[in-house]
């Protein structure tokens, strides 16, 4: 699998931010869920999709997996 370059990631981030704004606060969660499912459907491995979930949740919630309860130390 080919990874995106830094520039491509930056352009994706900008497009993501604009798309979230366009969807509006009332549709933000739905938009992000649909985007995640669309991206996952294009992966060649379910394992990669599961790993992406773990990485994203870890970055948002820390190693405990719960928002507001980041691991100390």
Residue 27 DSSP class = G
Confidence band for 62, pLDDT divided at 50, 70 and 90: confident
Please count the other Cβ atoms lying within 10 Å of the Cβ belonging to residue 18.
10
Q: Tell me, what's the pLDDT at 66?
A: 61
- For residue 43, pLDDT over 70 is answered with yes
Residue 73: the pLDDT is: 44
Structure tokens at 47: 């394992």
């Amino acid at each position: 699998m080919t990874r995106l370059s830094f520039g491509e990631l930056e352009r994706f981030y900008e497009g993501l931010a604009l798309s979230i704004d366009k969807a509006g606060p009332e549709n933000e969660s739905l938009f992000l869920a649909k985007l995640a499912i669309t991206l996952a459907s294009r992966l060649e491995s379910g394992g990669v999709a599961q790993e992406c979930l773990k990485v994203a949740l870890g970055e948002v919630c820390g190693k405990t997996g719960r928002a507001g309860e980041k691991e100390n130390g």
